[in-house]
Amino acid sequence: AGPGGNVAHVGVHCYSSTDLYNWKNEGVALAISKDPTSEITDGCIIERPKVLYNAKTKKYVMWFHLELKGQGYAAARCGIATSDTPAGPYTYLKSIRPDAGAWPLDVTDDDRKGKVARDFTTGQMARDMTLFQDDDGTAYLVASSEDNGKIHVSQLTDDYLGTPGKYVRALYWSEAPAVFKHDGRYYMIVSGCSGWAPNAATIGVASSMLGKWTSLGNPCRGEPGQLKTTFESQSTAVLPVAGQPDAFIFMGDRWRPDNAIDGRYVWLPIQFENGMPVLKWLPHWDLTVFPPAPASK
Ligand code: GAL
């Protein structure tokens, strides 16, 4: 409770559901450490944890935005932990800055003098982040880099425990990336950069994760105030509804930094208008808003 809740005192908590309506508390999946020398000691910052299942290693792999205790948002690292089961307990392995020693695939002459060059040896900054797993099992880290100036899309190694140095830059001055794939195209919803306060979202599209990303503008439809604040929320993930092709739920955070534990969620179905993903405010909705899944043969 209170502003003290903006740093980690417990760890990453897990809930599970079989229908998205009823939720079971699975407890703490990754516990912070009481050891003051640990990177995930009490008082560090852990944000936006995401988990993918790696079919080759049979491990659940968690990545999260890690800031080291007492350093504000300067460290800009990714924490990595693994578990044999989705709800954990996860074992903390290490933290990294992605893509150390590699130039982006779309490198420009400016990059060779700019922030990518500055962070070339240590690895690129990674703040707000998400993970995305493609149909062929290839996974990607998508993170705010270069002091939030650019989103980097980085391929993960086959074991999902690192980055082999294959990355591109996507949208500019963005945070809070949330990625999904629809109709063979990759979409990324992001926020602008205004800290805990909500702002207008942008949606980008690309024909491959490491391809060229193009902005399609604001995906929100509604009143100007709703468009300006993304329905008072900041994107955090897009959840594909299991078993229902083309059913996606936009998940956003309504932060309450003065009393962090009181933060809220906004979930809205992603709707498609002429193929363009859009978000509209619905005060009440359930899974029947999605087109019914085709009958199995
Ligand atoms: C937001 C970001 C949050 C958190 C916050 C800190 O812009 O999306 O994840 O880092 O800034 O001020």
What does the pLDDT look like over 241-272, one tens digit per residue?
Answer: 998 988 999 999 999 999 999 999 999 999 99
Sign of the alpha-carbon torsion through 109, 114, 118, 124: negative
Other Cβ atoms less than 10 A from the Cβ of 222: the count is 12
What does the pLDDT look like over 27-55, one tens digit per residue?
Answer: 999 999 999 999 999 999 999 999 999 99
In DSSP terms, which residues pair with 91 in a beta bridge?
A: 82
Nearest to 148 by CA among 126, 166, 163: 126
- In this predicted structure, what is the pLDDT of residue 296? 62
Distance between Cα 144 and ligand 1 center (Å): 11
Report residue 125 CA to chain centroid gap: 15
* Confidence band of 89 (pLDDT split at 50, 70, 90): very high
19: Cβ contacts below 8 Å, ≥ 6 apart = none
Any idea what DSSP says for residue 117? Answer: H
Distance between Cα 151 and ligand 1 center (Å): 14
| pTM for the whole structure | 0.96
Q: Does residue 139 surpass a pLDDT of 80?
A: yes
- In this predicted structure, what is the pLDDT of residue 110? 86
In DSSP terms, which residues pair with 237 in a beta bridge?
A: 251
Percent of the chain with pLDDT over 70: 99
Compute the chain's Rg from CA coordinates: 19
Average pLDDT score over the chain: 96
| CA-closest residue to ligand 1 atom 2 | 195
d(CA 24, CA 178): 24
* Confidence band of 205 (pLDDT split at 50, 70, 90): very high
Q: Per this entry, what is the length of the chain?
A: 297
Would you call 118 helix, strand, or coil by DSSP?
helix
Site to substitute for ligand 1 among 47, 173, 190, 202, most atoms within 8 A of C-beta? 47
Residue 237 vs residues 3, 69, 154: alpha-carbon distances, Å: 24, 26, 17
In DSSP terms, which residues pair with 277 in a beta bridge?
A: 272
Q: Does residue 297 surpass a pLDDT of 80?
A: no
Distance between Cα 192 and ligand 1 center (Å): 10
Residue 66 vs residues 141, 244, 287: alpha-carbon distances, Å: 14, 33, 34
Pocket lined around ligand 1, Cβ cut-off 6 Å:
47, 128, 175-176, 195-196, 234
